Each structure stands twice: as C-alpha cells, then as structure tokens.
Amino acid sequence: MSGFVEGIVEGTEEAVEAVVGDVEAVLRPRPGGKIDTARNQRHVETLAGEPVAQQDYLIKGRPVAVDVLPPATGTAITVTLGTANPALPILPADTTRRTAIILAVDNDVYLSSDPGAAMTAANSGGTTAQGVFYLPAKVPLPWDNTAQLWAGATTTASSSRVSVIASFKGV
C-alpha cells in the first residue's frame, strides 16, 4: 500500500512542478508594472544600508554616475639642478600619490626611475642616455603612477629648475 501512495505523491509533485513552471512563464511581471516596480524598489531598499561606493547596480539599465572626489592633500616643489647636483630626486616612491605634473622650467632634463641612469645621463651630457626620458623645457608631463622619479640635467652651463605638483589620496 505504501508503494501505491508514494507513486501518487511523486506523480503529484511532478505535476505541480510542471504547472508552476507554466504559470511563472505565463505570469511574468511586465517591465515597469506594479510587480516589477515593487521588486526593484525592494532591491534598492536593501542597498540603502551599504556605502554608495559598494552599491553595484544599474538604474534603468544605465550605469550609475560617480563623482570623483578631489584629493585631500597635495604638494608643490621646485628642484634646481646644477654643477653641484646634476641629478636629484623629484618624486619619492609613494603609494598614496594619485598624480603629479612635472615641468622643466629653464632647460631640458632627463627623467628616470633609476637614480644611476639619471646621474649617468647628466654626467655624460646625454651621450650615454640609456633608460631615461628626455623632457623638453616648458612641456608639462603628467606622472600617473607611484614610482620614484629622478631628474638629471642636460646642461650644467646654467641651472635647470624642475617644478613638480602632486596630489595624494585623502585619509
């Protein structure tokens, strides 16, 4: 008798699953309808407790716009290269730096993340300028990474000023 009852229960479960699947296919909520709107509103309410930066959802199928916050701190320096100091560091390695702008004010300069390469290029007058970047005077260069940077003079006949302005992550 128990085998007969189990067969009926199994057959009924399969029939219910088939009917429920058909009903869900037929009664899908219409986009923009009451059910769809209520589900979307409930989803937005569940995200309300999370910080805005961690909310990853779309509004009407479009990405949510995010304003870039300005950095909390910044610095500006000018380094003078000459015969006594033909190569000097202008940016230390710093993981909190967002960006920097470098400007050779008076003369062209060599830039390198390797202090030895900057010194060699400055001392040789550019004849062995390997592993350096040649920055012409009065051309601003954005530096968008956190690596260190050294400047080497292309000439020691006059002093070469290099100005740097940098921004850092806030607290």
Q: Which residue, among 84, 97, 74, has the nearest Cα to 144 in the 3D structure?
A: 97
Q: Which residue, among 166, 106, 92, 101, has the nearest Cα to 136 in the 3D structure?
A: 106
> Is residue 104 packed enough to be buried (19+ CB in 10 Å), middle (13-18) or exposed (0-12)?
buried
Neighbour tally for 163: CB within 10 Å = 15
Give the 3-state secondary structure of residue 92: coil
pLDDT at 150 (0 to 100): 95
Statement: residue 128 has pLDDT above 90? no
| CATH 2.60.120.770 segments of the chain | 73-168
In whole angstroms, give the CA distance from residue 97 to residue 164. Answer: 13
pLDDT at 4 (0 to 100): 66
Neighbour tally for 65: CB within 10 Å = 6
Q: Which bin fits 138, alpha (ψ -120 to 50), beta or left (φ > 0)?
A: left
pLDDT at 57 (0 to 100): 55
φ/ψ (deg, to 5) at 101:
-120, 130
φ/ψ (deg, to 5) at 73:
-135, 165
Which residues are registered as beta bridge partners of 128? none
pLDDT in tens, 134-170: 999 999 999 998 999 999 999 888 999 999 999 988 6
pLDDT in tens, 34-80: 888 888 888 777 776 666 555 555 555 666 667 776 667 889 999 99
CATH architecture of the domain with range 73-168: Sandwich (2.60)
CA 142 from centre of chain:
15
